[in-house]
Amino acid sequence: MRVVSLHADVLLATSAIWQTNCVIVRGAVGGSEQAPPAQDATHAAETFVIDSPVLPEELEVLPALLEQSRFPSPSGLLATHADWDHLLGRLAFPDTTLGCAETTAERMRATPGEPQRELRAFDEQHYVRRGRPLALGSVQTLAVPGRCEIGEQELELHQTDGHTSDGLAVWIGWAGVLVAGDYLSPVELPVLGKGGSVEAYLDTLARLRSLVARAEHVVPGHGPIVDAQRALEVLEEDVAYLTSLREHGDATELPAARRTFAQRRIHGENLAALGSLS
C-alpha cells in the first residue's frame, strides 16, 4: 500500500489491488482552517476514513498509520457507494459507524449480504485469508446533497450515480481535495455497474465539473490522483466515450490512455449492460 499526504489534513492510501483509493481526512476543532499542532493533533481534531484499501495487511495497518500521522482514531467511516471494495473500513475499525448516502443505504437494504458474498468470491479467487468476516454494523444515512461536520469544519457531499444506482462524492474544501468515488479515473473507463446508466453518469459528470475546476487534487476510486487540468481532460474523455457508447455502441473509440486489454473487457461489459437496458 502506498501512502502520500495531499494536505496537512488529508492522507491518501492506495491499495495494491486495482489502485483502490482510501482517503483519511482530519478536521480541526477550534475554528482553525489549519491542522492543529502535532503534539495536540490527536486531541484537537476529528477524523473520517473515506472508502478503503482491499488487502488484509493494508487494512490492518490503517490504525497504526493514523496514530503515526497524529490523526485521531476515526469517529466515522464514509463510503462513496456500496460496491464491496469501498466498504472494508469496518474490518480496520469494527466499532466505527459507516456513513453513506440514502441511495447507498437503500441499495444495501435491497441486496442484503451482497458485499460479503462478493468479498468472499474475491478472496477465494485470489487465495486471500482474512481474520474475520465483514460486518457492516451500524449505518448512518447522510443527506446528499448536503454537508457533514468534521470537527468545526465541513465536508460537502454531492450526488453521484450512473456508475451504480447510488453514491456520493466528497469535497474537502479547505484542502482542495475532491474524493470522486468511481468517477474520473485516468486508468479506468466509465463502468456501468449495477443500476448504472449513461444518462445518470453524464449528469454526475456535469455536477462534478465545477468542483473539479476548483480542486488541487482529484482522487478517483481507482488510479492515480490528478490535478484539475488532467481531471477535466478525463471528464471530457468520459463524456465523449459515454455519448458515443449510447449512440454508436461497438463502434465507440476508447480514450487513448485506456485501450488496455482490461479496459476493452470493461467496454464489452458496458455494451452488454446497454443491451440489457434497451
Give pLDDT tens digits for 105-157. Answer: 999 999 999 999 999 999 999 999 999 999 998 899 999 999 999 999 999 99
Whole-angstrom distance, CA of residue 194 vs CA of residue 208: 21
User: How confident is the model at residue 44, as a pLDDT?
Assistant: 66
| pLDDT tens track for 16-58 | 999 999 999 999 876 444 444 444 444 568 999 999 999 999 9
What is the model's pLDDT at position 278?
52
Average pLDDT, the chain: 93
CA distance 89 to 156: 20
pLDDT at residue 275, as a whole number: 84
Tell me which of 226 and 38 has the higher pLDDT.
226
Distance CA 22, CA 275 (A): 33
Q: Are 46 and 26 in contact (CB under 8 A)?
A: yes
- Helix, strand, coil proportions of the chain in percent (round to 5)? 40, 25, 40
- How many domains, the chain? 1
Nearest-angstrom CA–CA distance, 13 and 23: 6
- Report which residue type is found at 277: L
Give residues with Cβ within 8 angstroms of 192, minimum separation 6: 162, 163, 198, 201, 269, 270, 273, 274
Q: How confident is the model at residue 276 (pLDDT cuts 50, 70, 90)?
A: low
- For cell 445518470, what's the residue? 200
**How far lies 267's CA from each of 78, 274, 275, in Å?**
29, 11, 12
User: Residue 60 above 80 pLDDT?
Assistant: yes
How far is it, in rounded angstroms, from Cα 218 to Cα 6? 10
CA end-to-end span of the chain, whole Å? 40
Specify the CATH number for the domain of residue 113.
Answer: 3.60.15.10
pTM of the full structure: 0.92
Structural domain boundaries enclosing 185: 2-277
At residue 45, the pLDDT reads: 85
What pLDDT, on a 0 to 100 scale, did the predictor assign at position 138? Answer: 82
Residue 208 reports pLDDT greater than 90 = yes
Q: Rounded distance, CA 275 to CA 140, Å? A: 35
Are the C-beta atoms of residues 195 and 30 closer than 8 Å to each other?
Answer: no
| pLDDT reported for residue 35 | 44
| Averaged pLDDT for residues 170-174 | 97
